[in-house]
Structure 1
Amino acid sequence: MDEGALQDRSVLGRIMRILDAFDVGDQAVGLSELTRRTGLAKATVHRIAQDLVAARLLAASPDGYRLGRGLFELGMRAAAERTVLEVAVPFLQDLFARTRETVHLGVLDGDEVVYISKIGGHRQARSPSRIGGRMPLYCTAIGKVLLANSDPADIARVLAGPLPRRTPRTIVGPGLLRAHLEQVAEQGVAYEYEESTLGIVCVAAPVLSADDQPLAAISVTGPATRFRPDAHAASVRAAASGVASILARRSSTPL
């Protein structure tokens, strides 16, 4: 039985199908549109949606449904990400004050980076990143630095998978990408020069655990017309190291 069939039969699978049907720009999604997006029976969508409203995971309005605040509250209880975020915020703020460019904090999730914080000013670069959003590992600075410090098996899996060319500068050759990741691991910093989005350049450094596993990564992003990533590599590396140091002290402190 394939995954789609399992989702149709599982209550949890149908709930996730409904929640996943919402896009970032949605203000409200009507019942008919939600039915179309999920492929579930209209009566099923209506019944589950009403239960999700009661649980505050969806909110209802005359225009339809939207994701509820209960989901945000649950997300903020995610212990690992919350701890990293709490420690990292002062460092992110310092980086923004120093660079006046967009600062990100991201964590590894499968073959993607998930952004858990983003600080940007009035002149921030137009990048596709958003809090809670995902981007590929292989073509973003923050993703590459997470991948370069991952287990060899994880690196091999990503290199063996599809590597779509997002811009003319995306590194899509597995051999070239492996050599690039080895250089990233050696330097302790990764750069992106318009590999994920044209007009965007970036520098990132990893937040490593005591056993050198990637807990998160910090990046600074700016427009290719004015931002020089290499000029800020030391500051980004220092911020990531500072976060790692505090997390290490917290984890070694007895309760």
Structure 2
Amino acid sequence: MSDGVLDRALLVLGCFHEDAPDLTAAQLAECTGLAVSTLHRLLATMIERGLLVRLPPHRYAVGARLWELGELSPLSLRLRETALPHMMRLYEATGENVHLAVLDGPDPASSDALFVGRVTGRSSIPTVSRMGSREPLHTTGVGKALLSTRDDVWLEQYFHRKLEAETTLSITAEAALRADIELARVRGFATTREEMTLGNVSVAAALGRVDDLPPVAIGVVVRLQRADERRLAPLVIQAAKDLRDELSITQ
């Protein structure tokens, strides 16, 4: 693909998101602003290369080739594959959702928690996160844990953004969130209480610096009625330490 075609292909791929995993040609034309004839030629090429797949009736979705390439990312090959046994042990010890996330974004003002791993079971409380989803840093346990790893210069830029409330209990005031971040640093773990989803509590810990990987955090999400921080926090902290130690050995 030429640079121009590549730019247009990325424009098409950028139209897909969690709430729109498959789209019609008309929706893609509206999203991209491309001429219909140009778009149809581009879609044919992307299908041929495996970047898109056609679904009935007359819809398009991300192709298997992109998934195949994504699995070659260090976030999959190195981080997630190494983390899975640790996540399973944490799940077996708690019976709760286990999440693995990294800090991702071009700059502090547009950074999110990118979820790269998840272990769940039948008795685990439903959550909005999934592998590959992006969630706010300020309303998720792993997100707050990631914020606790950032310095004052980074945080100053981060707080230039408007923090949206996900629930009525979300913390969006800078002073209150800074206090939560500092508490997470002191205790070694972060918490959210019904700040992303009502009825859910999260306990998470950051791994600390790992060479050649973005900041990483691991955490559990539990029902409010089962949220015993005194039991969960040591388990999460130990999982983060064990994972960091293994990643440091295998780098």
So what's the TM-score if we normalise by structure 2?
Answer: 0.89
The reply on whether 1:118 has 2:118 as its aligned counterpart is yes
Match of 1:216 in 2: 216
Q: C-alpha separation between the residues in 2 aligned to 1:80 and 1:226?
A: 31
The CA deviation at 1:132 is: 0.1
The CA deviation at 1:26 is: 4.7
Paired letter, 2:192: E
8 Å CA contact 2:21–2:62 kept in 1: the answer is no
Q: C-alpha separation between the residues in 2 aligned to 1:85 and 1:78?
A: 10
**Which segment drifts farther, 28-37 or 128-137?**
28-37
The CA deviation at 1:133 is: 0.1
**Which segment drifts farther, 46-55 or 87-96?**
46-55
Match of 2:162 in 1: 162
Q: Where do 1:53-64 residues align within 5 Å?
A: 53-63=47-57, 64=59
8 Å CA contact 1:102–1:124 kept in 2: the answer is yes
**Equivalent residue in structure 1 for 2:93, among 72, 95, 98:** 98
Structure 1 segments unaligned to the other structure (5+ residues): 1-8
8 Å CA contact 1:206–1:240 kept in 2: the answer is yes
Give the 3-state SS of the residue equivalent to 1:84 in structure 2: helix
Match of 1:201 in 2: 201
Q: Once superposed, what is the RMSD of the aligned Cα atoms?
A: 2.0
Q: C-alpha separation between the residues in 2 aligned to 1:129 and 1:241?
A: 23
Paired letter, 1:23: H
Q: How many residues align?
A: 242
Paired letter, 2:52: L
Give the 3-state SS of the residue equivalent to 1:18 in structure 2: helix
**Equivalent residue in structure 2 for 1:88, among 83, 88, 95:** 83
**Equivalent residue in structure 1 for 2:67, among 72, 78, 83:** 72
The reply on whether 1:109 has 2:129 as its aligned counterpart is no
Match of 2:239 in 1: 239
Identity of aligned residues (%): 32
Q: Deviations over 1:93-146 (max 9, x none)?
A: 001111111111111102200111111111221211011000011111100111
Give the 3-state SS of the residue equivalent to 1:115 in structure 2: strand
The CA deviation at 1:10 is: 4.4
Match of 1:33 in 2: 27
8 Å CA contact 2:101–2:218 kept in 1: the answer is yes
8 Å CA contact 1:145–1:184 kept in 2: the answer is yes
Match of 1:5 in 2: none
Change beyond 3 A, Cα 1:47–1:220: same
Paired letter, 1:95: L
8 Å CA contact 1:160–1:174 kept in 2: the answer is no
Give the 3-state SS of the residue equivalent to 1:22 in structure 2: coil
**Which segment drifts farther, 11-20 or 92-101?**
11-20
Structure 2 segments unaligned to the other structure (5+ residues): 106-110
**Which segment drifts farther, 165-174 or 27-36?**
27-36
Q: C-alpha separation between the residues in 2 aligned to 1:239 and 1:37?
A: 42
Match of 1:23 in 2: 17
